[in-house]
Amino acid sequence: MTQLLHIDASIQGEGSVSRRLTSRAADAWREAHPGGTVVYRDLGADPIPHLDSAGGLGRLVPPEQRSPAQQASWALTEELVGEIADSDAVLLGFPLYNYGAPSTVKAWVDHLHAPGLSFDPETGEGLLSGRDFVAVVSRGGGYSEGAPKQGWDHATAWLPHGLAQTGLVPRFVSVELTLAAVVPAMSDLVPMAQESRRRAEAACDAIWSPATALV
């Protein structure tokens, strides 16, 4: 049976653009995979703990030497990697916060770096390759070519590198200028924001169709 792992990270709840888009993309996946299973994780409502000095080194310590905190941290890593290993596709949605990914997404990625689970420690081979990974990224401002903040979207640039060791390769759907409708100084950008939203919605609808068109 096919399985989709659907993850959201926005803290905006029902007001989140990235959540609306991933919901749309998940619906497209269900339509393309009748009878498939969707596993959902909400990093905004139920954040993953960051690696800390108490448990974070558990992945570098032999199992028999792990402290209780290290055992708990490793168990969570096993759970998170297992969700991906059991899935055929991963759908991750998040907004740009202060020009980067939410810290909860970084914590999730950090837990995925697990020798013997997500990569072979001897060869360095990623063990999670072969899965379709789609990242839906919402950005309040404009970061495309020619925009004043072109190049300030460090999340989209970072994610492929952050996941590289695992073998996961993300492809992106992006939407820009999501704040244009609520920030008076951006009111003249509303038409561009609406077009960006339209393109992102069309991309979400087409992700798992034979003729994929991502923005």
Query: For the chain, what are the domain ranges?
Result: 3-206
pLDDT of residue 210: 62
CA–CA distances in Å: residue 131 to residues 14, 77, 83, 155, 156: 29, 18, 12, 21, 19
pLDDT of residue 209: 79
| pLDDT per residue rounded down to tens, the chain (215 residues) | 799 999 999 999 989 999 999 999 999 999 999 999 999 999 999 999 999 999 999 999 999 999 999 999 999 999 999 999 999 999 999 999 999 999 999 999 999 999 999 999 999 999 999 999 999 999 999 998 888 899 999 999 999 999 999 999 999 999 999 999 999 999 999 999 999 999 999 999 999 976 443 43
- The whole-angstrom separation of Cα 69 and Cα 76 is 11
From the options 3.40.50.10540, 3.40.50.720, 3.40.50.360, 2.60.40.1930, give the CATH code of 3-206.
Answer: 3.40.50.360
With residue 39 as reference, give the H or E element that holds it: strand 37-42
- The whole-angstrom separation of Cα 75 and Cα 78 is 5
pLDDT of residue 109: 98
CA–CA distances in Å: residue 89 to residues 12, 25, 99, 168, 193: 25, 12, 26, 10, 29
